[in-house]
Amino acid sequence: MKLLVATQNKHKKQEIEAVLKKTFEVVSLADLSDDEVIDETGDTFFENALLKAKHYAKKHNMLTLADDSGLSIDYLNGAPGIYSARYSGGSDLDNLNLVLKEMAHATNRDAHFTCVLVLYDPRTNVYQTYQGKIYGWITHTAQGNHGFGYDPIFYVPELKQTLAELSPTHKNQISHRAIALQALKEAFR
């Protein structure tokens, strides 16, 4: 069964495909040469994921999975949150550096990643939602060469490593997105 993943982000597609490849044939917006970017006008991860899933499912008439995810930091009152991908207005590295700058004098460095997935079927207009979270804290400097986004500054205490220090295979077993994807996969068993 084909599944459209509503993203242009090749890293997200790879993470999703790694978990779901035995359940679905995964295609992305990039695979369909769809470079339309819709405004994420929701106030929550769920609202943004639903907005994207519904839009692209109807546009391409395909079962569609959309995710909205982000980093929430206690010291920053939950920021960057739903604005994680566009927090600085620049690149992933700009976002990461802005967080490090804002956290320079923080004593409470607790944070968590949230991923909300929405699976939308355009034939029935029915959707299902799945969520994953992972808890850790923000490091003082970037560490590791894997992953993307804020992975180099998100330390997982149980593993004694940042997400960027984990192999892609290991990350795809424990990340917030992996937890949500496993829940989706279980629902399709």
CA distance readout (Å), 30 to 17, 53, 66, 136, 140: 14, 15, 14, 32, 35
The verdict on whether 68 is a catalytic residue reads yes
Residues annotated as binding site for Mg(2+)? 39, 68
* Rounded-to-10 torsion of CA 123, 53, 118, 6: 120
Residues annotated as binding site for substrate? 7-12, 69, 148-151, 171, 176-177
Q: Pick the catalytic residue: 68, 74, 92, 121?
A: 68
CA distance readout (Å), 165 to 7, 39, 57, 87, 153: 24, 32, 35, 23, 10
Can you tell me the distance from the alpha carbon of 187 to that of 76, in angstroms, rounded to the nearest whole number? 35
Taking residue 34's Cβ as centre, other Cβ atoms within 10 Å add up to 15
Residues annotated as binding site? 7-12, 39, 68-69, 148-151, 171, 176-177
For residue 105, the one-letter residue type is H
What are the catalytic residues? 68
